[in-house]
Structure 1
Amino acid sequence: MREAYTRREAIAAGLLGVAIAAFVWGPVILRPFSPSRAVDLGTLRLPEDRAGAQPRPSAPRVKTAKATPGSRIDINHADAAALQTLPGIGPTLAQRIIAYRKANGSFDDARGLLDVNGIGSKRFDKVERWVEAR
């Protein structure tokens, strides 16, 4: 009894296996589609097309232009909704401004916003013309 195939026997067995697979599956794979088996792509429904389907969470977010405030906002008395109207200030930064104000007292001037975590010089430059500290 032999333990292993020679290299030549292994190659021949592999080629024979490929030939048998091509003989069996070739006509199935290579046959043309008949009109009776054609798929009408107009009748297919994607999961998003079904009623009650939820949008995919990985859909890209659409940037919308933020409305600028009509007048200057007093950062010592503004609530979170008023602060969010400022360019570059979202809900998180609005809450940080309010928390900083509660912890450290009212701002002396608008430049006090630079002490709030998350507001640097670039963001402050965007906001500066819209804020005041009374």
Structure 2
Amino acid sequence: MPCGRLGSPGMPRRRLLAGVLAAALSLPACGLLHRARSEPPRWIDLNTAAASAVERLPGITPSMARRIVAGRPYGDPHELVERNILTEHEFERIEDLVTVPAARR
């Protein structure tokens, strides 16, 4: 039997198994890392979150995030609409993901 053939005894088979095992173990970790970067946390505090965190909210562009940060402090999340920082439609996309300390219940 040739040395590199699958199923042959010795080192090549162990290397193959080690490679397959390493790949299998790394896939779940890659998924967790990707998910952590792409999903915003459950609540974003509009008064303390960095612009980069606000930017991860659905539909929020970098310029919107800068306007949100510049408009602080907020007493209620809906002030984003009242102050014309976001439209009602834009706010509806994020209203379940944002809070301010006084609005938490």
> What TM-score range do you get, normalising by the shorter chain?
0.5 to 0.7
Query: Over aligned residue pairs, what C-alpha RMSD do you find?
Result: 1.8
Percent identity over paired residues:
35
Q: Give the 4+ runs in structure 1 shifted more than 6 A.
A: none
Match of 2:60 in 1: 89
Q: TM-score, normalised by structure 2?
A: 0.56
1:110–1:131: 8 Å Cα contact kept in structure 2?
yes
> Which residue pairs with 2:38 in the alignment?
67
1:1-134 superposed matches below 5 A: 67-101=38-72, 106-134=73-101
* Change in 2 beyond 3 A, CA 1:118/1:111: closer
Q: What runs of 5+ residues in structure 1 fail to find an aligned partner?
A: 1-65
Instruction: Say which structure, 1 or 2, has more relative contact order (CA 8 Å, 6+ apart).
Output: 2
How many aligned positions are there? Answer: 65
Deviation at 1:115, TM superposition (A): 3.2
* Shift in Å, 1:91: 0.5
Tell me, yes or no, if the aligned pair for 2:55 and 2:65 is still in contact at 8 Å.
Answer: yes
Q: 1:114 to 1:81 in 2, by over 3 A?
A: same
d(CA) in 1 for partners of 2:56 and 2:83?
17
Q: Tell me how far 1:131 sits from its aligned partner.
A: 0.2
**AA paired with 2:87?**
G
The CA distance in 2 between the partners of 1:87 and 1:68, in whole Å, is 9
Pairwise CA distance, 1:112: 1.1
Shift in CA distance, 108/118, structure 1 to aligned 2, threshold 3 Å: closer
> Residue type of the partner of 2:62?
P
Partner in structure 2 of residue 55 of structure 1: none
